[in-house]
Amino acid sequence: MSDSELLELQMQGKDWRALDKALVTFFREQQKLPAALALLIGQCSFALAQGHLCLPLKRMPQQSEQEWQALMALYPDLFQLSEDNNQPFVYANNALYMRRYFSYQQQIALYLEQSNERSQKLRQAINPALLNQLLEPLFPATAATSAAPDWQRLSCAIAASSSFSVITGGPGTGKTTTVVKLLLVLQQLQQQQGAAPLTIQLAAPTGKAAVRLRSSIRTTLDKLPASAEIKSQVPTEVSTLHKLLGARAQSRQFKQNALEPLALDLLVVDEASMLDVELMAALLSALPAHARLILLGDKDQLASVEAGALMAELCQWAEQGHYWPVTVDWLNQLSFAAVPELLISQQGKALEQQIGMLRVSHRFDPQSGIAKLATAVNNGQSAEVTAICQADYADLQYLEAAEVRQLKQFVLTGQVKSQIKDAAGFSFYLQTVAQSPALDASEQAIENWAQQVLTDFSAFQLLCAVRQGPFGVEQVNLSVEKMLHQAGLIQQTSQQSSQWYAGRPVMVTQNDYALGLMNGDVGICLLRPYQGKLMLAVAFASEDSSKAVRWVLPSRLQQVETAYAITVHKSQGSEFRHAVLVLPDHFSPVLTRELIYTGITRAAKLFSLVCAKPDLLALAIEQKVQRYGAVRL
């Protein structure tokens, strides 16, 4: 097939987005491009939609790499091959980039290189004996630490001596606990040196992740052995990154940038797997030169929705350690047990010396079904996954989607096995919704009720891999509404899934800066008392610690959708007592090992899998996310 025929096929087909097609049309008209280069530009744009930073030329076999370079060289105003004249496309690393994303990649890579140098100087300046003294009460020796290193303690030590650091680990490994202890240690170091306390900011990519982090930090801080003075120097307020940076409506720009940097000494960002390269670049631009940056997250979770796989790339060797012998000598001075030799490598990169991985989960018993399932998925053991799903674990349920009667019972009660504990269906939170306070109830009583509804709603959540089809978000939400209406739990009867009614959960689908709501925020529509009457209002968890919830009138919420079921991507940063993963009945490119793992690890107590075709589960586990582009040098 000729280049012209291939181009026409893409321009008329459904793969390319309207944006990709418009870009091709624009440059063809402006530059009189041949079909081959128009195809190259279209595919480069489409690659971004798939999460890639660039288009490797090996993915375009119509020409050899030399032939592509020769073609691009004929249009020096369009393609940068050597001299930089701010062309819209950049050829580098045997791939084609859109300039903006090439710039993001280079900016992050430069920051990592510079942070390596700063971190080495910082580590040399820290007295291990003093650091040990500060770590001791926060990470006391136990029977377990005599046999293996306390990775919370060592990750804390790594971050304390790094300009930039990453603390990664699976669910329940103690990332929040570790970072709270780290902040106490750093403030005590400041005190020992006679310096002013550090100005610390805490942030997360989404509102719900921010609220969850705030709650975890407060709970953790209360339990730790430290003076009230030092504890008061650890912040408990958490902001979304967009709010922290000062997002501008209808713009990709932020108020805080290189010219107006953030006023802080240290920034902690939780749920860093959700960070895309554009947001990371904006964050680095706004970071003062002297400030430290600490990323927390699970390297095995889904990558960001937008381009890049930042956390996975930064932590690609975390499992193996790749610590230099000199790093291990330093860590062993701070540990009750020596770092295993398997984690030592002379060939390790400088970045690995700034990464701590937490290796023990305190949420799940290693012998629990959820723990075994998550491990088997991460290891790509599809046969083992099937065996675990079909075994008799008290914290796992496997449900064939074809059994409609069972599905209805499941939606209401969350239970298909009689011996299962911690099960909760949607009837659990809807019972709380029905317990509306009296018309003359105090505002505090109304807020407490709304907060309890939001808490109870998080007890059970359906997670879908796809949006369309019988097992996609849209259809599942309609089906659930019908089941709940038939059971008399809600008054919704419309099949448009857009009516407002008491109990309707909604998710914000687009940032609304006027309301202070971000994409992914979840609220519940409630019939609340107001001035002696009942009115519908939507309750959202408040980022402001002085208020339990914030109320928004339904008429002001233009970009929301019903959220009995949400995509796995949208669930990141959340935890549910009972998480349910609903797989589609057909293969989709989004079905990957990372998606299955992320769905499983949203569960705190109980995980259920609704599987229409078991073969698809094995296929998904064999498929790992691969994104082109690299921010590491």
327 marked among binding-site residues:
no
Nearest to 203 by CA among 290, 111, 271, 263: 271
Both tokens of residue 581? 């993963």
- Identify the three-state secondary structure at position 536: strand
176 marked among binding-site residues:
yes
Cβ–Cβ < 8 Å for 160, 266: no
- Alpha-carbon distance 47 to 33, whole Å? 20
Cβ–Cβ < 8 Å for 136, 129: no
The answer to whether the Cα torsion of 508, 512, 515, 518 is positive or negative is positive
Nearest to 547 by CA among 228, 211, 145, 157: 211
- The single residue listed with the structure tokens 């942070």 is 115
Q: At what angle do helices 151-160 and 175-192 cross, to 10 degrees?
A: 50
573 marked among binding-site residues:
no
- Alpha-carbon distance 31 to 426, whole Å? 57
Both tokens of residue 29? 């008209």
Cβ–Cβ < 8 Å for 302, 594: yes
For residue 535, the cross-strand partners are 528
Q: β-pairing, 396-400 with 560-562?
A: unpaired
629 marked among binding-site residues:
no
Please state, in angstroms and as integers, the Cα–Cα distance from residue 554 to each residue in 97, 449, 507, following that order: 42, 19, 12
169 marked among binding-site residues:
yes
- Alpha-carbon distance 570 to 434, whole Å? 27
- The single residue listed with the structure tokens 């709270």 is 180
- Alpha-carbon distance 242 to 204, whole Å? 9
For residue 497, the cross-strand partners are none
SS3 assignment for 433-492? HCCCCCCCCCHHHHHHHHHHHHHHHCCEEEEECCCCCCCCHHHHHHHHHHHHHHCCCCCC
Please state, in angstroms and as integers, the Cα–Cα distance from residue 448 to each residue in 268, 396, 433, 451, 632, following that order: 30, 32, 12, 5, 47
172 marked among binding-site residues:
yes
Kindly report the number of other CB atoms within 10 A of residue 243's CB atom. Answer: 16
Nearest to 417 by CA among 443, 440, 398: 398
Residue 539 DSSP code: E
Task: Point out the annotated binding site for ATP.
Answer: 169-176
Task: Point out the annotated binding site.
Answer: 169-176
